[in-house]
Structure 1
Amino acid sequence: MLERIRLGVSSAALSKNFGWLSSLFLTLLGAILRFGNLANPKQLVFDETYYVKDAYTLNLFGSERNWELDPNPAFESGNLTGYLDTAAYVVHPPIGKWIIFLGMQLFGADSSFGWRFSTALLGTLAIPLIILIAYKLIGSKIFAALAGLFLAIDGQAIVMSRTAILDGILAFFVLLAFYLLVLDDSHFRKRLSQKVTRLSFRPLLLLMGIVLGLAAGTKWSGLYFVAAFGLYTFLVDFYQRQKLHQRPAWAIAQGFINALTLFVATVGTYVLGWLGWILGSNGWGRNAKANWWESLWAYHQNAFTFHTGLSTPHPYQANALEWLILARPTAFYFEKPEDCGRLDFCTAAITALPHPLIWFAGVAAVIWLLFRFFRTFDKTAGIILLGFLAGWAPWLAYLDRTTFQFYTVVMTPFLILALVYALYRYRRRGFVLGRIGARERTLVLFVFLSIVLAVYFSSLWMGFEVPYWIWRIQMWLPNWI
């Protein structure tokens, strides 16, 4: 059977339509997994209790408001009047909440489908985006499609797309910025190969800066990618110009142009995200200082102190080292319905658990990429590692902070790209060793097991009611409960 599948895929890949047909199919698959049964549960799940209500009052007042005690039951039933006149102190910027509100505007603020529409849409759009990135980096339609498949069926990507919280939005903007970085890098290397070495304004960096401003305006952890991607452009520029025997001053001058482009675009977009707070007069801390920019700076100082000092214990907290081994995935929802039909005992649960096979294989691939990069200076390995490390390494400085496994949704695309690139190199090695057929059958088996496991965990990712014993056997480790 594996041989027939291998030959069928190899034959299909030769078709000139394989690229767009596979992309369309995988995007539709991802859309089904993200939009199917999206309205359930018809209640605020996990941190939706903050971001959905914040999004609603952002639209009304331009800034967030406090709510009366225990407002969720009324809000979930369609009574949206439980907000107070006092401004709420929030520690995440507004852009992600404005995006959540777009879905509420389309489908109603009282619609649980509307709460989650925007995150589901961005999660779906991330699939063709990662396919484009993988094809640009690897040059193989089959392995680009694999990247799309793995993202489409990854559990954490599914859960974060089906929940109206900020991290899925952040992940989309980071992935889009990475795509622009890959395009800019390719364009820059092409110019240098043609001996075009004059200083220039790079419009793709301007676009990347705007997107990174949207990322940072969703969660501050987007700033890690601003620093990483900006540093990458400078180092690559410097290295390539040195190879052409240009004076270092030219690379420094181009680096200044790039940095200025990124800074203006990122900061400008970020500040525009606060426009409702700036133009209003009732936002938290709005009138703390004489000028709006001084008040905004004071607000950010307060928020920074909160973020760096957050250590409140939480039953599902996990630090950056524990993320790699899936020590404590975050449970978003757990109910035991009273009416189970013919079943004596059933449950409906949602846990932001990454696809275990894809995750652990991806972690192994990242380790392999590190060795490959330092041994061969492989630029594809390097740029993938850049994205992964920007999403993971900064959190090593905050091992004592209250952090969660679902933060890694921003790393997931880079783990997948690392995995797909490792699988691609594994297959190519088969050409050298004369065992291409055997290696392709191994790849088919890996993909088949990935799909089987996705079906196995689907109820845990989509919140379907199942017999209790099914949920119990999905909990492979005691810490997953």
Structure 2
Amino acid sequence: MTSTAPETQRGHDAGDPLGEQPTSWQRRLRRFGHVPRPETSLRDRLDPPYTRPGRQVWSVLAIPPHVADRLVRWSAWGGPLLVTLVAGLLRFWKLDQPHAVIFDETYYAKDAWALVNQGYEGSWPKDVDKQILNDPSSVPVPTDPGYVVHPPVGKWIIGLGEQLFGFTPFGWRFMVAVLGTISVLLLCRIGRRLFRSTFLGCLAGLLLAVDGLHFVMSRTALLDLIVMFFVLAAFGCLVVDRDHARRRLAAALPVDEEGVLRPNAQVAQTLRLGRRPWRLAAGVMLGLAFATKWNGLYVLAAFGLMTVLWDVGARRTAGAVHPYQAVLRRDLIPAFVSTVPVAIVTYVVSWTGWIVTDKGYYRNWAATEGKDSSWSWLFPDWLRSLWHYENQVYDFHVGLTSGHTYESNPWSWLVLGRPVSYYYEEQTGCTESATGKCAAEVLAIGTPLLWWLACFALAYVVWRWFFRRDWRAGAIACGVVAGWLPWFFYQERTIFLFYAVVFVPFLCLAVTMMLGAIAGPAAGTGARAELGLTAQDPTGERRRTLGAIAVGVLVLLIIWNFIYFWPLYTGTSIPEDLWRDRMWLDTWV
């Protein structure tokens, strides 16, 4: 709440619990669980400290204090790297299996191979997949241009793996698996920074590591996992940028005689936050997401608004009387330039292979059919040709309404209403005890218990953001909305559940936030404040023990659920009756 008291009075009230009385609106919201912001110092509100395990943990483990300090420092990177190692081992295990071109790999693997060999996608003959699997060296790259409906960045990335390991299933899946593994590391570090807890950060990464949809998409040469990676990287860059900006504000604010940081309206209103390279990096990441699939454009808009609102909150916390006005004058234009133009330039640069050649699809449109355009005097031919190409692609996307066996409505995604079967093959004699048919399937479906728990976690996140004004909950909700909401405007279009992989990391963050609340805060005022709990909330050992047990049981159930569905994630052949046991819903068949 922004105070209207004079500056000196606000400085006094900042440390006085009685200085600000709740408004009538806040009193009404208390009926639904709203609590005032915990009493923390201004410095901790601008730059919250990281939580540390309590002394009792180390005493129980008989670890001396100096060793405990080293373990805490090591765990900041050691914990995330350990989780990432597990995720990588899972994703690279038999990555070349099934030895087949599964689902839309038939488009992206071949387009990627053409891109890295000649700079533009080719028009491949039909039924060439078997020849590629048997002897890829015997398949020439077609020189005739191919009509493609997605930008090239994702295919360049897939093609890099093909350049390293050949035109094989392992080659075209390699780089996607790399990005899927790195995304687990990113989420661990982002979660740690978001929650100021190494444990919760690693928990978020672990949940992502054992999510079935993320796992399957990490082992398949499709574009959506690549979009997810760049979206998550952009989010991480913006979170780091937020921390740095708030530290600059804290460093510029005055300190009283007792060494306590005090708000100052003049500083908060007028301070320029300087160069912000992390926000610039976020613009590049969002441009790469947009240059992989167009749904990255919606994320660009959502994250751009989010980072501006973060600046509003920072200036308000620092004492700005009119924070929106201050952001409008000092931050809005730099934020726009760092994201939107940078993303657009990144997008255009991604088409370099198509631009520098003269054989790409529609590459010479401006010099032929479009030579009489009224804009020919202003824009170069390659740019007008690209604009025409993109217009044609947009018309294709919005007009794509042909039915598909595995299409689904976005309303059903969170409950995994209709997963997509990437690969299915009936076999016989898959095990010694098998007497009937066997089934080998790769099913793009999330870990059910994790996703169903995420439905409750999202409700908790929305409640926490609305009633407790927790910026972390708002950021998580923004990530989910940016990746999910746009598809509701295209419900007549042919769309699939695996598009949801873009916001899977934010579902994991939501579940982690809820599990952190279930576990409860560590003993001590600082931990209570970090979790947004009041002094009246129970923090005794019994509360902590029961909460930890509940969290442990839930996490173990999610891991068990991932293991149970492992055959459906990897295409492992199992008896048909065991396959049917895993079809928990009729719509999964």
TM tier relative to shorter chain: over 0.9
Q: Is the 8 A contact 1:108 1:114 kept in 2?
A: yes
Instruction: Give the one of 95, 110, 114 matched to 1:38.
Output: 95
Q: Distance in 1 between matches of 2:239 and 2:461?
A: 18
Shift of 1:450: 1.3
Q: Distance in 2 between matches of 1:34 and 1:53?
A: 22
Q: Distance in 2 between matches of 1:325 and 1:272?
A: 39
Bigger Cα displacement from structure 2, 191-200 vs 364-373: 191-200
What residue in structure 2 maps to residue 366 of structure 1?
A: 458
Equivalent residue pairs, number: 475
Shift of 1:317: 0.5
Q: Residue type matched to 1:223 in 2?
A: L
Q: Distance in 2 between matches of 1:48 and 1:216?
A: 20
Q: Distance in 2 between matches of 1:295 and 1:200?
A: 39
Q: Residue type matched to 1:469 in 2?
A: D
Q: Is the 8 A contact 2:519 2:550 kept in 1?
A: no
| Residues 1:232 and 2:310 are matched in the alignment | no
Shift of 1:249: 4.9
What residue in structure 2 maps to residue 321 of structure 1?
A: 411
Q: Distance in 2 between matches of 1:102 and 1:471?
A: 35
Q: Residue type matched to 1:401 in 2?
A: R
Q: Distance in 2 between matches of 1:172 and 1:368?
A: 25
Shift of 1:236: 2.5
What residue in structure 1 maps to residue 469 of structure 2?
A: 377
Aligned pairs (5 A) from 1:82-121: 83-109=141-167, 111-121=168-178
Q: Residue type matched to 2:364 in 1?
A: N
Q: Is the 8 A contact 1:201 1:257 kept in 2?
A: no
| Residues 1:244 and 2:320 are matched in the alignment | yes
Cα deviations by residue, 1:311-337 (Å, 9 ceiling, x for unpaired): 111010112111122110111111113
| Residues 1:305 and 2:395 are matched in the alignment | yes
What residue in structure 2 maps to residue 141 of structure 1?
A: 198
| Residues 1:448 and 2:551 are matched in the alignment | no
What residue in structure 1 maps to residue 440 of structure 2?
A: 348
Q: Residue type matched to 1:443 in 2?
A: V
Instruction: Give the one of 249, 255, 260 matched to 2:337.
Output: 260
Q: Distance in 2 between matches of 1:129 and 1:313?
A: 37
Distance 1:93 1:145, change over 3 A: same
TM-score, normalised to structure 2, is 0.77
The higher radius of gyration belongs to 2
What residue in structure 2 maps to residue 129 of structure 1?
A: 186
Instruction: Give the one of 126, 139, 142 matched to 1:81.
Output: 139
Bigger Cα displacement from structure 2, 17-26 vs 45-54: 17-26
Q: Is the 8 A contact 2:443 2:568 kept in 1?
A: yes
Q: Is the 8 A contact 1:67 1:82 kept in 2?
A: no
* Aligned-residue CA RMSD (Å): 2.2
Instruction: Give the one of 220, 227, 230 matched to 2:294.
Output: 220
Distance 1:375 1:247, change over 3 A: closer
What residue in structure 2 maps to residue 178 of structure 1?
A: 235
Runs (5+) with no aligned partner, structure 2: 1-56, 254-266, 368-380, 524-536
Q: Distance in 2 between matches of 1:62 and 1:301?
A: 21
What residue in structure 2 maps to residue 4 of structure 1?
A: none
Q: Determine helix, strand or coil for the equivalent of 2:293.
A: coil
Q: Residue type matched to 2:96 in 1?
A: A
Q: Distance in 1 between matches of 2:461 and 2:323?
A: 32
Shift of 1:447: 1.2
Q: Determine helix, strand or coil for the equivalent of 1:87.
A: coil
Q: Is the 8 A contact 1:234 1:251 kept in 2?
A: yes
Q: Determine helix, strand or coil for the equivalent of 1:443.
A: helix
What residue in structure 2 maps to residue 3 of structure 1?
A: none
Q: Residue type matched to 1:359 in 2?
A: W
Instruction: Give the one of 328, 333, 336 matched to 2:423.
Output: 333
Instruction: Give the one of 519, 541, 566 matched to 1:458.
Output: 566
Q: Distance in 2 between matches of 1:401 and 1:266?
A: 26
Q: Residue type matched to 2:545 in 1?
A: G
Shift of 1:422: 1.1
Q: Determine helix, strand or coil for the equivalent of 1:337.
A: strand
Q: Distance in 1 between matches of 2:333 and 2:171?
A: 43
Cα deviations by residue, 1:111-158 (Å, 9 ceiling, x for unpaired): 211110000011011111101011101112221121111111110011
Shift of 1:246: 5.0
Q: Determine helix, strand or coil for the equivalent of 2:441.
A: strand
Greater percentage in helix = 1
Shift of 1:200: 3.0
| Residues 1:475 and 2:578 are matched in the alignment | no
Extract structure 1 runs of 4+ deviating beyond 6 A: none
Q: Distance in 1 between matches of 2:163 and 2:142?
A: 21
Cα deviations by residue, 1:258-297 (Å, 9 ceiling, x for unpaired): 1012123211211111001001111111111141001111
